[in-house]
Each structure stands twice: as structure tokens, then as C-alpha cells.
Chains A and B, each alone.
Chain A
Amino acid sequence: MREMKSIFKASNVVKLVFIVLTYLLVQFLINIGIITDYYQTTLATICINIILAVSLNLVTGFTGQFSLGHAGFMAIGAYACAIITLKNPTYAGFIQGVAAGAILSAIVGVAVGLPTLRLRGDYLAIATLGMAEIIRIIFTNLKITNGAAGLQGIPRFINWTWLFVFTAATLIIISNFIKSSHGRACIAIREDEIAAEAMGINTTKYKVAAFVIGAFFAGVAGALYASYFYFLKPNIFNFAKSVDILVIVVLGGMGSLTGSVLGAAILALISTFLQRFSEVRMIIYSLILIIIMLFRPQGIMGSRELSLSLFKRAASKIEPKVGKERS
């Protein structure tokens, strides 16, 4: 038992060290000029996409509920934050904007999730698809969102450090949730909904909980997007955007948080790199996706996590051989 406890604590320390080192490394690359302003945009995209992918992964990869409208939640967060910071361009306004965006998203999540997630089957996919379209159309027609032209000159209150803090916090919160009894309840639903329910799990409650937590963080990602890129229009949050997020999740591995992180980073780097091939860009991008999925249909990570224990397991596969040789 004591042994288990020490591993548990060690893994937490490792996580923290890893997070701090990642930050310092990127900061160092910025300082010495390897990551230029141009690439900082990519960096911001990666952070925002990690939050989006990880929150969608909770719903689709871990709980097994297909959602096709993640961009809709992102839009709610983005517009809420933009409108509030335009009215109140202070740090307090920005924090209010993020909070309002996330909470509004979560409320819409409850409204969409409750009626559809009671039912078994893929009703959620259809409902979320419709929801995201409705949100986009509403934002195209409202005065306060300035219609199809969108909002400009949104005050920027965040830099890369802020984005990193938000991304790390999201990762820690969702990873902690998954490693709790509540998270296991969600995973049980993905594995076998009937068995989960028979073992005392209120499956509706946990499907809705996962969906609402997912919506909340998609709202946060949208708010960060608005503040960093200071320009919004409804078409940014179209169906293609929802698919982009789903692609990151599938490519990284359904049910793997580190997979989503890798997926977000790799895809953002590939598309940044492809910017110079303007015409054939999308063709090459699609080809790369197809090739990756051909070689790893379960995604880069499958449902595994990149962790210390994975390295230990790999090492333990080698060790016995060494032992035999010695004896």
C-alpha cells in the first residue's frame, strides 16, 4: 500500500516538473528567437486546440458519446468574452468574459444534453450538429454580435504564458476527473452502458456531466481564442471547425489525453509548415491524415497515456531478458 502511495505521489511530481519544463523550454525558444512572433500564433493555436480536443475527448473518447458541435460551444465562449471585454476592456472584464463564456456554454450543454442523453443511441450527434448550426445562425443575425461581419478590435489580455496556464489547468482538471470514481463511471458507460447502469451508475447523470464539463472547457477555449486573435466572425465556428477538433481527438487517440495534446501539436505544426504551399495545402494535409490513420487506426496513442508507467512497462519488458542473461 505504501508503495502505491509513493508511485502516486511520484507521478504527480513528475507531471508538475514536466509542465514547468515544457513552459521553460518554450519560453527559452521564444527568448533566443527560434519561436518568432509568427510561430507564436501557432503556439496559441496549439494551446487552444489542446483545450478543445481534451474537452471533446472527455465526451467522445472517454464517455463514448458522439458530439459533432464542439465549435458551437467555442463560439458561445468566444462571443461572450468578446462582447464583455469590448464593453469593459480591463483584466477584470477579461476574467468575467472567460467565466461568462464557460458558464453560458455549460448551460447550453445542459439544455442540449439533458433531453438527448437520456436516450441510448446517437441522438447526441444529431442534436449537437443542429445546435452548432443554430448558434452560428443566431450569431450571424444578432446586432450585438455584429452579424456576419463579426467583431473586431477585441482587446487582447492574454499572452502565451496565460494560454499555457489555462491549458495546463484544463489538462490537470480533466485528467484528475478521469482518474476519479466519477471519471471511471463515464468510462464504464463507454464500455457497456447496460452493465454500467446495472452496477449502480446513473448513466444519464454521467453522460450529461461529461458533456457539460466538455462544453464548459470549449467555452473557455473560445474565450481565449477571442482574446488572443482579437477578431471573430460566425463562420469561424462552422461545421468544419467541429470536424477539425474531432480529427485531433481521433488522430491522437480516443480516450488518451496525451494523445490529444500530441494530436493538437502535430496538426498545428503540419498546417503551419504547409502554409507556404498555398494551393496544394489541403490535399497534402488530408494525405498526411490518411497515412497516419492507415498506420495507426487507433490514433497515435490509442487509449493509452504517455506516462512514467508506460516507460516502466517498456523497461520491464527488457529487464527479464537481462536477468536471464545474468543467471
Chain B
Amino acid sequence: MPILTVEKLTKSFGGLTAVSNVNMEINEGELLGLIGPNGAGKTTLFNLLTGVYVPTTGKIVFRTKKGEESIQGLRPYKICGKGIARTFQNIRLFKNLTVLDNVRIAMHKDIQYGIFSSFVHGLRYNKEEKKIVEESIKLLEILGLDKKKEELANNLPYGEQRHLEIARALATNPSLLLLDEPAAGMNPAETTELISLIRHIREEFNLTILLIEHDMSLVMQTCERIYVLDYGKIIANGTPEQIKSDKRVIEAYLGEDVNNA
């Protein structure tokens, strides 16, 4: 059953059509890849799905427990509230805050006390804050960051910042997780570790994952199905085997050997 359906989605910036007439279907529980050359429109597609940009035309339908809803054009916090979380290609952590605070902030949308109780720190406050800290630490343990919870996000090494981005996205309790080049800047060992981590969190949190990745080997190894974007258009969609032998994909990646991956 599709958890997300994208219909004829288009986004133009002035004369440039970054995403053009895209159709997509993501099934529940899938680990899906989204690949394409630099500037193909992958990040723009994420920005459309998460409400950072409003689509020029087209439809995005997301299935929650309450049923199917059109979410195109909704504000990002509302889309997050429905269960779509993301990481950013250009890491956007709350740099001057601690690792723990980064995760706690992402739990805010489910907080069970109001602004007025925050003035007096009542019983509700104590109970909720304790719960948030415990849950945050659990997430940090999964991502191997629990020992660094008091460090400033800015002081983490690059790879750990990417992990923290994932922890923060998970803290919003999503059903669909969008990862924008999570392995960028990582060495091969870190990338291997990341692959098993992604598989683990999918099981642990019952997630559907859409993954943008530049590293072909990572995508071919991890993803069950792959969409290929080129100049804003979907040019292919299929299993890693099918994608590797697709003529148009090979053309799009002219110069890069797909089969080498």
C-alpha cells in the first residue's frame, strides 16, 4: 500500500524547472533510493515533500493513521506533525546547542504541557521533561551519541553531525524518513556503518525510508527500489539490477560507470 503518492509534481524557479511533472509512489516499509546527477532536483523534491517549497503544480498525498491527505503547500511543521521527517544535505543542526537539546527540540511537537505550565514548572512539566530526556538518550544510544549528549553540536566531527541529524529527525516520531545524502563526506568505513544503521532504524521504528545518495554503491547495496531523476524528470524506476542496465540512466551518468558500483 502506498504511504506517499506524488502526482505530476512541478516546481519552477523563474525560468528554471527544477522538478518537472514527477510521479512517484512509495510503499509502506520500503527503503527507496533517489539518485541523479548533481542539480537533478533531488533536494528540491525533498523540499517540496516537506513543505519548504510550495509546488508550482501537482499533488502530494500522504497516508496517516487517519487516512489519506493532500499535503502539498502545507507548512513544514504541519507536514512534520503528520509523520514526515528529514535530514538536510547541508547539515542544519542547532549548532550552539547541546546534542541532547538538538534531539529534545525535535520532540517538542508532542509535548504534553502548555506555555502557562512552563512558567511555573509544575508536576506535568517534571514528568514530561523526564520522559523527553529518557527518550532522547535512547535515540542517542542507537546513533552512538549518548556519551556526547552535553557537547555542542558544532563541536562534533562531521560524521557524528550527520548521525545527530538522523537522531533529530527520528525524535519527531516519523513514519516516513527522508535522508538527503547522509553519507556525504564520510569515509568507506563510516559509510558501511551507516548502511547497517539505516537498516536497523528501519526495523526498530517501522519506517519507510527515501534516501538520496550520490554514492552509487551505497544505493545499489541498500535500496530495494530506485528512482532516477535527471533534469527534474524521473527517467527510470526499478530494482538496482534494472537501474544498472537502463540505457537512459547510463546516458545520464555519462562518464560515471554505473556498472562499476
Contacts and interface: CB of A to CB of B under 8 A. Distances in A.
A197 B118 contact: no
B91 to A, nearest CB: 9
Contacts of A209: 115
A61 to B, nearest CB: 12
Interface core residue of A1, A176, A181, A196 (most chain B CB under 10 Å): A181
A184 B120 CA distance: 16
A177, A194, A200 pick with most chain B CB within 10 angstroms = A200
Interface stretch (A25-33, A77-85, A94-102, A185-193): A185-193
A199 B105 contact: yes
Contacts of A138: none
B106 A200 contact: yes
A4 B137 CA distance: 13
Interface string B66-79: 00000000011100
- State the main secondary structure of chain B at its contact with A: helix
A176 B120 contact: yes
A4 B133 contact: yes
Nearest to A303: B96
A180 B118 contact: yes
Contacts of A203: 77
A195 interface: yes
Interface residues of B, number: 41
Given A181-B128, A184-B101, A201 B115 contact: no
Contacts of B125: 180
B7 interface: no
Contacts of A198: 50, 52, 76-77, 80, 85-86, 88, 92
Contacts of A195: 88, 92-94
A5 B134 CA distance: 13
B105 A184 contact: yes
B105 A201 contact: yes
B172 interface: yes
A173 interface: yes
A198 B92 CA distance: 10
Interface of A: 1, 4-5, 173, 176-177, 179-185, 187-188, 191-192, 194-203, 209, 303
6 contacts: A192-B92, A192-B94, A195-B93, A198-B77, A199-B108, A303-B96
Give the top 7 A-B pairs by smallest Cβ distance, nearest first. A180-B118, A200-B109, A191-B94, A200-B80, A195-B92, A199-B106, A181-B111
